[in-house]
Amino acid sequence: MVLAQRRIPFEFFAAAAVVFCAAIWICATQLSGTADDALVATGVTLDLVLLVPTLYYFLAVRKCGWPALTLLPVFFICLFAASRIVPAEHHALLNGLHAVLPIAELGLGIALVVAVRRALAAGGTKDWLDTARATVERWTGNSVAAKILAFELGLFRYAFTRQKVGPLSPGEFSAYRKTPLTAYIWVLMMVIAVETVALHLLLVRWSEIAAWILTLLSIYSAVWLIGDTRAIFRRPIRLDGEALRLRFGLRWSLDVPWSAVERVETGLGVKPEAEKPLEMVPLGAGANVRLTLREPAVADGPYGITRRCTEILLYVDEPRSLVSEIEQRLT
């Protein structure tokens, strides 16, 4: 069930509005520089960061069926609001709560990873990213949020964990073994490293903040390249009784039912027929399979991006075997 289908917790919004209005009024009129101000500010802080999330739990989660995980953004919003409403000289409690946030975020990430591992162990698909999306969607009740969060988890999981790529199972096809992908990535990584150092030294003369922003973006780009490349290694194309399951690194995931496949062709350097085909071709390779669909399909991309397509260009290490198996399923 998605969030749009859940009941709107009007009672929570009304109660939260009362709490926020009371907090604003108290901080504006009742803090007069006396010894009791610290106690009053502490009470207001607790109302905002504890009472409002508690109201949300009972009136939105329990009563209206909203996912319990949505308590986290509600708590963050309340914490931010409290930092704006309560005067800065009374932020001792808020500062302590801010220190706990990184621990809470790390705990949430660990809990999600553990949940994904359990789901993989329970059977079903062995694709880590697909399992992460399904797990996060169960937790949040929102498919878009699940795709974004699962992508970020998958990016760092693939980038920073090394796993031996095992042999392909029946019905699986790789898309990198006969390409110079690894060499291209190493060259790009060296270029990024050299340019990052050079630009940082150049920019730091004018703005240290800008220099560090550019450096962090370059590091993230390098992590993205590593994660996407390793995901290509570990996420093969799969054929099963229901669909052709196309996976291309961290970039695209698409399940095409057999009834939606119109035709499939192979050949070196196949050319697109549609205006904007979806390309699943690694760096340094050329498309060798063209898949034409009867009706538009929706592919899931990074950060929750989606794209409709009627034609897909693929690179596969064994294109003739893939086409042969697809044609067998279409007959």
Tokens of 329: 């399923």
- CB 250, CB 151: distance < 8 Å: yes
- CB 220, CB 214: distance < 8 Å: no
- CB 266, CB 319: distance < 8 Å: yes
pLDDT value, residue 91: 87
- CB 87, CB 41: distance < 8 Å: yes
Tokens of 259: 């009834």
Q: Domains of the chain: which residue ranges?
A: 3-90, 105-160, 172-234, 237-330
Tokens of 288: 């060798």
pLDDT value, residue 5: 53
Query: Would you state the torsion angle of the CA atoms of residues 235, 114, 77, 11, taken in this order, to the nearest 10 degrees?
Result: 110
- From 23, 30, 22, select the one nearest 82 (Cα to Cα): 23
Q: Please report, as a single letter, which amino acid is at residue 178.
A: K
SS3 content of the chain, % helix, strand, coil (to 5): 60, 15, 25
Report residues of the chain scoring pLDDT below 70: 1-6, 123-125, 268-269, 274
pLDDT value, residue 6: 65
Tokens of 124: 């079903």
pLDDT value, residue 121: 78
Residue with tokens 């009371």: 22
Give me the residues paired with residue 253 across strands.
247, 300
- Separation between Cα atoms, residue 316 and residue 331, nearest integer Å: 22
- Separation between Cα atoms, residue 282 and residue 211, nearest integer Å: 31
DSSP letter at 151? H
- Separation between Cα atoms, residue 236 and residue 39, nearest integer Å: 60
- Separation between Cα atoms, residue 20 and residue 237, nearest integer Å: 52
- Separation between Cα atoms, residue 66 and residue 50, nearest integer Å: 18
How far, in whole angstroms, is CA 63 from its chain's centroid? 29
Each residue's pLDDT tens digit, 149-201: 888 888 988 999 877 887 888 899 999 999 999 999 999 999 999 999 999 99
Query: What number of other Cβ atoms are within 10 A of residue 203's Cβ?
Result: 17
- Separation between Cα atoms, residue 68 and residue 54, nearest integer Å: 11
Residue with tokens 């969607």: 137
Nearby residues of 112 by Cβ (< 8 Å), 6 or more positions away: 132, 135, 136, 139, 149, 153
Length of the chain: 331
pTM beyond 0.85: no
**Mean per-residue pLDDT over the chain, rounded:** 87
Give me the residues paired with residue 266 across strands.
289
DSSP 237-260: EEE-SSEEEEEETTTEEEEEEGGG
